[in-house]
Amino acid sequence: MASTTGCTGRATALRTLLPISAESHLNHRKALPLMSSKNRSRALLAALCASAVTCAAAQTQPWTLTASQELSRDTNVYRLADGVAAAGGLKRGDTLSTTTLAAGLDQRIGRQHLLGEAALRVLRYRDNGRLDHEGHTLAAAWAWETVERLSGTLRAGSTRSLRPYASVAVPGSTARNLETTNEVAALARLGGAGRLSLEGALGTRQVDYSDPAYATAELRTDTLALGGRWRTSGALVYGAAWRHTWARYPVLGDRYHVDALDFSAESALTGASRLYLRLSPTRARYDAATERDFSGLTAAAQWRWQAGGKLALTLRAVRDLGQDAYLERYGTDGGAAAVRGNVDDSTVLTRVALEGVYAYSDKTQLSASLGTTRRELSRLPPGQTAVLEGRDTTAAATLGLRWSPTRHAALGCDAGLERRTASGALSGPYNASTLTCFARLGWR
């Protein structure tokens, strides 16, 4: 993997470093059988970071440091329906200040490659002070390679952020609820750059919430994937893998199992265009919440086009189980960023997004995006016998401007619009608009 520059580039490299047959959701507790899920995540993250620091000392300038300040205006913080006021003296719209300090590591040592990212965020609301919180992103990865045909990746990460509102788990909630996700994953590959390679991947993930009302939504998943890839004489790579996920909701005592066959293809169509496709027959079965059982196809696609160094377009699409859809970021280069973020409430999620970046000059960039997300919802409320079902569709658009007067500084603003339509009792419509402006300084 080529070295990236800046904290943003390092974060992208770190997310895409684990190409588990594109399509594999990595999480299997048996990776480290003698430790709990939480201790396993912390121990591996600490070990990777310690290794990164030791190795970095022997090299020149492997670090980057970035400080940024953002001011955002959100017209509908709690994602309430039109005409509905926030209860309890809360404000429907608010101004948010976000202060971020981030550090990145990108270090090569022979055949080995170490990547690290640490970001701490302090968020303060002007009117809804009850939502004030501190968030973080911690991640480390080690891409290893032997003199033979063995290679692989070991990674660990932790994120903490405010869970979005308009949730199915706790409808109408306005309490502060922080979602913390800890993950550990490993990939081993036999074959390297040859025509045929065999791969095995496993990992574990745990999702926790600060609000006790969301305790029933806390989740643990472990996944094992086995497969291979075949590279043709041209720029086309085919992949096939079997994936099995064990998952449980500790408070509910419910478990579910997912089996999938992941078929993928990647191709450099031209020097400026790349395409990635995944198609997966998938079967999910719950012990108790059988209304969420699923049998059908999940899929992902991504097309990237770079036109003459000025314009870059990315088209992404994904259809997956709601609680697993954001794991598509563990795919190959093609599927790495199809969906990422907080765990979703939906039984099935389908998302399509088009993003574009235009370099107006060496110092000025324009960006824009359009996207739509459709969710299929089902839930059996506690103490009831009738299953509730529903659907919603959320459309979003953004427009941004970036100006970098020097290589160490950047200024910019982003404007966004969001609109949801809904049917059924599990979701509701809303409209929201946001405006965010930032200043960023970086050192290397």
The pLDDT value given to residue 359? 95
What are the pLDDT tens digits along the chain (444 aa)?
344 344 444 444 444 443 333 333 333 333 333 444 445 445 444 544 444 444 434 446 799 999 999 999 999 999 999 988 888 889 999 999 999 999 999 999 999 999 999 999 999 999 999 999 999 999 999 999 987 789 999 989 899 999 988 888 787 789 999 999 998 989 999 987 678 999 999 989 999 999 999 998 999 999 999 999 998 877 789 999 999 999 999 998 999 999 999 999 988 777 789 899 999 999 999 999 999 999 999 999 989 999 777 999 999 999 999 887 755 544 443 333 333 567 888 999 999 999 999 999 999 999 999 999 999 999 887 778 889 899 999 999 999 999 999 999 999 999 999 999 999 888 999 999 999 999 999 997
Return phi, psi of residue 75, to 5°: -80, -10
CA 93 to CA 434: how far, in whole Å? 10
Q: In 364-428, which residue ranges form alpha helices assigned H by DSSP? A: none
Query: In 361-429, which ranges are E strands?
Result: 364-379, 388-406, 409-424
Q: Diameter of the chain by CA atoms?
A: 66
- 63-73 CB burial, b ≥16 within 10 A, e <16: bbebebebebe
Specify whether the CB–CB gap between 251 and 34 falls below 8 A: no
Query: Any residues with CB less than 8 A from the CB of 54 and at least 6 apart, and which?
Result: none
How many other CB atoms sit within 10 Å of the CB of residue 407? Answer: 11
Strand partners, 275: 267, 303
Would you state the pLDDT for residue 340? Answer: 53
Q: Is 378 helix (H, G, I), strand (E, B) or coil?
A: strand
Which structure tokens are listed for 150?
């063995």
The values of phi and psi at residue 122, to 5°, are -115, 120
**What is the pLDDT, as a whole number, of residue 326?**
59
Say if residues 13 and 1 touch (Cβ distance below 8 Å): yes
175 Cβ contact partners less than 8 Å away, ≥ 6 residues apart: 130, 211, 213
Record the tokens describing residue 117, joined without a space: 């990212």
Nearest to 351 by CA among 299, 306, 423: 299
Q: Residue 332 to residues 14, 15, 227, 301: CA-CA distances in angstroms?
A: 12, 10, 14, 11
Euclidean distance between CA atoms 240 and 256, whole angstroms:
23
Report DSSP letters for 212-268, one per residue.
GGGGGG-EEEEEEEEEEEEE-SSSEEEEEEEEEEEEEETTTTEEEEEEEEEEEEEEE
Neighbour-count burial of 43, counting CB atoms closer than 10 A to its CB (0-12 exposed, 13-18 middle, 19+ buried): middle
Q: DSSP secondary-structure letter at 24?
A: P
Instruction: Give the pTM.
Output: 0.81
pLDDT confidence of residue 299: 93
- How many CB atoms neighbour CB 217 within 10 A? 23
- Per this entry, what is the length of the chain? 444
d(CA 142, CA 52): 9
3 and 309 Cβ atoms separated by less than 8 Å = no
> Which two three-digit tokens encode residue 390?
């529903």
Q: What is the dihedral of CA 187, 191, 192, 196, to 10 degrees?
A: -110
pLDDT score of 366: 98
Q: What is the pLDDT of residue 169?
A: 78
Q: How far is CA 158 from CA 136, 257, 312, in A?
A: 8, 24, 30
Task: Please give the structure tokens belonging to residue 356.
Answer: 């574009």
Domains and CATH numbers, the chain: 6-443 (2.40.160)
User: 375: closest CA among 417, 416, 339, 327?
Assistant: 339
Burial 99-123 (b: 16+ CB within 10 A, else e): ebebbbbbbeeeeebbbbbbbebeb
- Residue 186 CA to residue 57 CA, distance in Å, equals 26
Do 133 and 178 form a contact (C-beta atoms < 8 A)? yes
- 284 close to 257: Cβ distance less than 8 angstroms: yes
